[in-house]
Structure 1
C-alpha cells in the first residue's frame, strides 16, 4: 500500500495525514513484482477480477463440490502468482536480459507442458466415454513425465531468466500451463470413482505425478512471495517422509512409498485440508473486504481517526500506531504487511516527536503483530481455529477479547512510560486531522460494525463478510470517495493480487500438515509432551512455547498457527488442557514469532522503514510485546482470561491482569510515576506476575505491591507528576 503525507494549515478542510491505496500497480512493494502495461495489463487485471468474482459467486450463489473448489482456488493463485511474481531479479536495462538460447530453451519447455494439458483433455473424454481408469503407461509417458519435465525445467530456468519488469517470461508461462495441467488432471480423477483409491496401491500413478508437480509449484511460488523460511521447513518435513523410517527413537515411523504419500498429500489430508479450506473461504473473503475498504478510503479514515483521537497525547504518533495497526492488522492478516501499510506513516512521525529509530520501528512492529490477535477477525486466525477445533467462531472471538486488551494495554503503557521518561511531546494541533471533521464521517465505521453485528446475530461468516463488503461500497456513496463500477472492479483486481501470498502460504502449510497427518509425527510429539508433563506441566508448556515460536519463525502468522496447531496443540490437549486453551496458547506464540529474534519478519520490515539495525529492532519489539510471552501461560492457570467461568471471575481476572500489565510495563521501562530504582523494578515484576496469574490471593498480593509503590512514587515525586494519558 502506498502512503502520502502532506502538511496543511490548521484551518484546512482536508486531513493532514492520509494513507491511500492509489497506485498499487504503479509502485510495487515487492522487488520481484511485475508491472504490466498494454494488453498484458488488461489480461492479468481481468484474470484477477475473475478470480475474485469466482470466489464471491461460489461462496454465495453457486457452491461447487468441495475438492473441486479448493483445487481451482489453488490453481488460480498459482496462475496469477507466476504471472505477477518473477523468479529472480529484473534486468535493469533491456540489454541485460537473458541470452537468446535461454529464452528459446524456455519456450521449448512449453511443448511438454502443453502436451500434458492436451492429454488431460483427452483423459477427460476417455473417462466420460465410460472408461474405469486410464492405462498406467499413458499416465506415465503421456502425462506424468512431460509434466514433471516441464515443471522442474520451468522452475530452474526461471531462477536464471532475467527480464525487464513489464513482461512475462516464457519460463513462467510454462509454470502457468503446468498449474492448469495439474488442476485439470486432479479435477478429472477426483470427480470419478478413483477418488476413493487415494492412499492405496490401487491409486492411479497419475495422481502422484500431479501431486509432485503441484507441490513443486506451490513451493516455488511460496519462495517468490514469502521467502525461503517456509520452503525450507516444508522441505525438511518432505525429506522426513522418506528418511523417517531410518531415524531412531520417537522420530522413526514405518514409512510411506512415494506413490502412497503423494496420492494422499493433494487431498483433504494435506494441501486441500484445513489451511486451504480457510484460505478458500474466510481469508479470500476478508481480503476482498479489505480491498473494498481501501478502494472506498475507509482504511484511510481508520488511520486519520486514530491520529485525531490520540495524536496530541505524549508520544502521540506511537499511540496512533497502536490504534491504527490494531484496526488494520486484524483485517489484512499479516504482521509484516501491516507494518508496511501503517508504519510508513507512523514511524517517521514517531521519530519526529523524539522516539529513537529503534523504538519507533519496535513499537510499530509490536502493534502490527497485535492486530493478528485482535477480535473479531484476528487476521483470519479465528477462522482457522474454528475450522480445526470445531469451536464456534463467535466463542473464539469472545474468548480473544481479554488477551487482546492485555496485549494492547501492554504496548500502550510501554509507549506512554517511555514518552514520560524521555519527556516527549505529542503532535501539535495543526499537525493532526481535525476531530470535529472526522466525527461527521463516523458512519465510515459502518462496514466493521455491520460485520460484527451480523456475526453475533448468527449469520455465517461468509454471509457476514459479504454483507460487510457490500456495505463498504454502499457507505462510499455517501462519502467523498464514491465507488462506481470502475472502483469496484479495481477493488476486485486488488483483492485478486493481494490474495496470492496468503493462498500460497496456506497451501504450503497444508503440505506440512499433510506430512504430519500421514506420518503420525504429531502423535509422537504428543507422547513427548506427555512425558514432560509427568515431570512438570510448566516444563511441557515452555517446551510447547519454544516449538511454536520455532515453527513460526520467518513464516506469515496464518501458516505459523496452522503448522503449530497440527504439531503442538494435540499434545497439549493430550496432557489435559482444554482445546480452546491449547489452541489459543499455540496461536499466541505463533503470532509473536513475528517479533521474536532472531527471525522476526515484522521487526525486520519496521527496521527497513526506520533505518535502524534489524536485530536491534527485533530485540526492542520483543521487549515491548513482552506481555504476549507471559499471558498465554495464564490461559492454563486462569481460564477466566478466555471467558471461561462466572462473570464475577472474568471481571476480577480482567481488571487485575490489566493492572498487572501496567506494572509489567513500568518494570520494563523503569518508570512508573517517576524514575524507578532497581529494587523497585524487582518488586514491581513480582507484583505484576501475581496479578497476571489470576489467583485470588496472588491478586491481593499484587494489588498491595502496586498500591505501596504508587504511594511511594507519589510521595517522592509529588502530585505534579504527569499521569499516563
Structure 2
C-alpha cells in the first residue's frame, strides 16, 4: 500500500537520510469481505457484464436515449444481476475450515431454477401476446403461471443463499436463481409499462402481475442491499413497509386509511417509489460520476492527490493529520462514501499520524471526520448534491456554489482542531526528506485538469451528464501525458471497475426508493410536517433540533445518498412548511445525513477508521464527533444567516463568512484548550461565548464576538502565549 520508513542512525549516531514517503495503491479498489474473487471463465463473464453495464449507461445517456422507466428498470436489474454474481449472501470458508454447499441445497436450488425459468418464459409469452394486440393478460396466468412461481423461487433462493458457506471463487446455484428472478421481474415490468396498462398502476384495475413483479423486485433489492450495505437500511425499509399495512391500526398522527397489497405494490415500483428520484439520480448522475471516478483511479490520480497533500502540508506541525484533511477531502469528493474513503486514504495517513505522536483514537477520528467532510465538498459532493438537485429542482450549479462556505467552515474546524492539538502536545511536522518534493509534484498539476474541466463545463451551462462525460474523456486524455497512460486495456478495466463500484450505490438508492415510496403513498411525510409545524409554534429552534435528531437517526448506518434521500422525504417538507427556504431546508437535512457517519452510537466512517487504527470503535466515534463538532452547528447557521449559502448581498456574504470562520476557530480553541497558548477553564468558557456570538451572524453579536477574540489574543500575548503562533 505504501512505504513508511522509520528513522535510523548510522554507526556514528547520525541520522541517515530517509526515503520520501510515496503513496501507492490509494486508487486500488478495496475488496469487501463478502465479495467473490473469480478466475477463469467466471472472471471473464462477470468482467464482461460489468463493462457492458457501464457502457450501456454511457451510450444511453449520451447517444441513444431510451424511455425513462425502461431505462431505470434495466439500470436496477443490471445491478441486481451483477450484485448476486459478485457478492455472497453468507460468508466464505476460511483457510483450514470445513465448509461448502451440501448436495441437498444444490438440488433444491436446481429445482428452484424451474419455476424461475418458467416465470421468465411466461414473460416472453406475455410480450408476444401484447405485441399481437392483446389488451391485457388473463389474471389466472399472471397469478399462477407468473406470480406464484416467481415469488416461490425468489423466497426459497434468498433463504438458501443465507445458509451455506462456500469458496471465494464459487458461484452458488441459489444466486443464479436470483439472477433469473431479477430478469423475470424486470422483464414483466418492461412489458406492462410499455403498454396502456401503465396508466392503471395504483388503481383497482392494475394487473396483479405488476404487484407480483414488484414484490419479487422489492425482495431482491432488500437482499442485495443487505449484502452490500448491511442491515441498517434493510431494517428501516422493512419498518416502513410494515407501516403500510399496520398504519391503519396505529393511533394518533401515525394512523392512515390504509392501502391494499395490490394498490401499494402496483405503484411502489413506479416513479412514486423505486423508479423515482433516487433511482433517477443513480441511473444518470451517480453512475456517470462513478465512471468518472473509475477513470481517475485508473490514471492513478488518487495517488497524486495524497502525495500532493503530503508535499503541501506534511511539514506543518502534526503534518500527517493535515495531510489526511486535504487528501480525504479531495478523495471523498469523488468517492461517494465516507467509510470507503477512510479505507482508501486512512490506511496510509492513520499509521503516519500515530508515528508523529497522535494516539490511535485521535488518528482514526481525524481521518473519519475528514473523509466525511468530502461528502460536502463541492463541486461533486459525493453524490448527494445530484439527489438534492433532482428533489428540489434547484440547478446543480447553484447547489455547488451554495456549498462553498459551509465546506470551508467544516474543513477549517477540523484543521484548527488538529493544529491546536498538535500545538498543545508539542508535535512537529514531518522532515523535508520524508515527503515528496513539491516542485516535482507541481509539474504534474495537469492531473487536476479533469476536475477543473468538469467545473468549467458546468458553469458554462453544459448539462451535468454532458459535463461528466467530457470530464471522463479528459481523464483518459490527461493520462497520456502522465506516467500512467490509459490505453484500450486500461479503459476497459476502468469500465469494469465502474460497473462493479456502482452496485452498492444503486442497490442503496433503489432501497431508499422503497422508503420514499412508502412516505409518498401513505402520507406519513405530511404528518411529520404537521408535527414540525406544531413544534415551531412553540419554538423554531426546537423544530430544527427535532429535525436534526430525525435526520441523524434515519442516517445511522446508512450510506450518505440513502440517508439524505430518506431524510429529505420525511424532514425537509416539514422545514419548508414552517417557513424555511427550500435550499436552506435541504442543506440542513443533507448536512446531518452526512455527519451521521461520525455520530455515535452507529458511525460507519468512525468504525472503519477504528479498524485501521486498532482503537476502540465507540471511543473513535466519540472522538470524531468532537472533531466534527462544527458540522453540528453550521446547519443552524443556514437558518439564522442565509448568507452562509450565498443568499444575500456580497458584503453580507463576506461579513458572515469571515466572522463565522473566526467563530469556528474559537470553537476549536474551546474544545482543544488552546488559542495562541494554553487556555484556562474560564478562558475556554469566554471563547465559547465568543464563538457562539460570531457563529450566530448578527451585526451586534459579530462585534461582541470580535471583541472577545481580540481580548483573548491580547491577554495571551501579554502573558507570553503569543510566541506560540499557529503554524500553517
TM-score tier after normalising by the smaller chain length: over 0.9
**What is the rounded CA distance, in whole Å, between the counterparts of 2:21 and 2:438 in structure 1?**
9
**What is the rounded CA distance, in whole Å, between the counterparts of 2:269 and 2:614 in structure 1?**
43
2:659 to 628, 634, 656: 656
Post-superposition shift, 1:722? Answer: 3.1
Distance 1:202 1:324, change over 3 A: same
- Alignment pair present for 1:639 and 2:637: no
**What is the rounded CA distance, in whole Å, between the counterparts of 2:718 and 2:515 in structure 1?**
58
SS in 1 for 2:2: strand
Q: After TM superposition, which residue ranges in structure 1, 4 or more long, deviate above 3 angstroms?
A: 6-15, 19-22
Distance 1:173 1:667, change over 3 A: same
Between 715-724 and 408-417, report the one with greater CA deviation.
Answer: 715-724
1:291 to 294, 298, 301: 294
Q: Deviations over 1:617-650 (max 9, x none)?
A: 0000000000000110111111000001000000
2:66 to 44, 58, 64: 64
SS in 2 for 1:644: coil
1:17 to 23, 26, 33: 23
SS in 2 for 1:458: coil
Aligned to 2:3: 5
Post-superposition shift, 1:104? Answer: 1.3
Q: Is the 8 A contact 1:17 1:433 kept in 2?
A: no
Q: Is the 8 A contact 2:5 2:18 kept in 1?
A: no
2:451 to 448, 451, 464: 448
Aligned to 1:624: 627
Post-superposition shift, 1:21? Answer: 3.3
**What is the rounded CA distance, in whole Å, between the counterparts of 1:396 and 1:597 in structure 2?**
28
Q: Is the 8 A contact 2:552 2:596 kept in 1?
A: yes
Post-superposition shift, 1:429? Answer: 1.3
**What is the rounded CA distance, in whole Å, between the counterparts of 1:324 and 1:607 in structure 2?**
18
**What is the rounded CA distance, in whole Å, between the counterparts of 1:538 and 1:323 in structure 2?**
33
Distance 1:422 1:14, change over 3 A: closer
**What is the rounded CA distance, in whole Å, between the counterparts of 2:572 and 2:710 in structure 1?**
39
SS in 2 for 1:199: coil
Aligned to 1:481: 484
Aligned to 1:194: 197
1:358 to 361, 364, 367: 361
Aligned to 1:258: 261
Aligned to 1:107: 110
**What is the rounded CA distance, in whole Å, between the counterparts of 2:243 and 2:547 in structure 1?**
21
Aligned to 1:76: 78
Q: Deviations over 1:409-432 (max 9, x none)?
A: 000000000000011111111211
- Alignment pair present for 1:709 and 2:716: no
- Alignment pair present for 1:48 and 2:50: yes
- Alignment pair present for 1:589 and 2:587: no
Post-superposition shift, 1:161? Answer: 2.4
* TM alignment of 1:230-629, pairs within 5 A: 230-629=233-632
Aligned to 2:10: none
**What is the rounded CA distance, in whole Å, between the counterparts of 2:449 and 2:516 in structure 1?**
38
Post-superposition shift, 1:12? Answer: 9.8
**What is the rounded CA distance, in whole Å, between the counterparts of 1:72 and 1:12 in structure 2?**
54
Post-superposition shift, 1:16? Answer: 2.2
Q: Deviations over 1:62-82 (max 9, x none)?
A: 001000000000000000000
SS in 2 for 1:722: coil
**What is the rounded CA distance, in whole Å, between the counterparts of 2:696 and 2:323 in structure 1?**
30
Aligned to 1:208: 211
**What is the rounded CA distance, in whole Å, between the counterparts of 2:48 and 2:721 in structure 1?**
66
**What is the rounded CA distance, in whole Å, between the counterparts of 1:8 and 1:67 in structure 2?**
57
Aligned to 1:723: 726
1:171 to 156, 170, 174: 174
Distance 1:355 1:6, change over 3 A: closer
Post-superposition shift, 1:461? Answer: 0.4
Between 106-115 and 477-486, report the one with greater CA deviation.
Answer: 106-115
**What is the rounded CA distance, in whole Å, between the counterparts of 1:19 and 1:303 in structure 2?**
11
**What is the rounded CA distance, in whole Å, between the counterparts of 1:720 and 1:537 in structure 2?**
44
* TM alignment of 1:101-180, pairs within 5 A: 101-180=104-183
Q: Is the 8 A contact 2:369 2:598 kept in 1?
A: yes
Q: Is the 8 A contact 1:272 1:510 kept in 2?
A: yes
Q: Is the 8 A contact 1:161 1:169 kept in 2?
A: no
**What is the rounded CA distance, in whole Å, between the counterparts of 1:432 and 1:683 in structure 2?**
39
Q: Is the 8 A contact 1:7 1:17 kept in 2?
A: no
Post-superposition shift, 1:98? Answer: 2.2
**What is the rounded CA distance, in whole Å, between the counterparts of 1:687 and 1:707 in structure 2?**
10
SS in 2 for 1:140: helix
**What is the rounded CA distance, in whole Å, between the counterparts of 2:254 and 2:451 in structure 1?**
46
**What is the rounded CA distance, in whole Å, between the counterparts of 2:721 and 2:607 in structure 1?**
41
SS in 2 for 1:379: coil
Q: Considering only aligned residues, what root-mean-square deviation do their CA atoms show, in Å?
A: 1.3
Q: Deviations over 1:178-215 (max 9, x none)?
A: 01111100000000000000000000000000000000
Aligned to 1:36: 38
Between 189-198 and 295-304, report the one with greater CA deviation.
Answer: 295-304
- Alignment pair present for 1:217 and 2:223: no
Q: Is the 8 A contact 1:161 1:171 kept in 2?
A: no
**What is the rounded CA distance, in whole Å, between the counterparts of 1:318 and 1:20 in structure 2?**
17
Distance 1:94 1:19, change over 3 A: closer
Unmatched 5+ stretches in structure 2: 8-15
**What is the rounded CA distance, in whole Å, between the counterparts of 1:493 and 1:436 in structure 2?**
35
Q: Deviations over 1:476-533 (max 9, x none)?
A: 0001100000000000000000010000000000000000000000001101111000
Q: Is the 8 A contact 1:17 1:432 kept in 2?
A: no
TM-score of the aligned structures, taking structure 2 as reference length? 0.97
**What is the rounded CA distance, in whole Å, between the counterparts of 1:414 and 1:12 in structure 2?**
29
Distance 1:239 1:619, change over 3 A: same
Q: Is the 8 A contact 1:94 1:164 kept in 2?
A: no
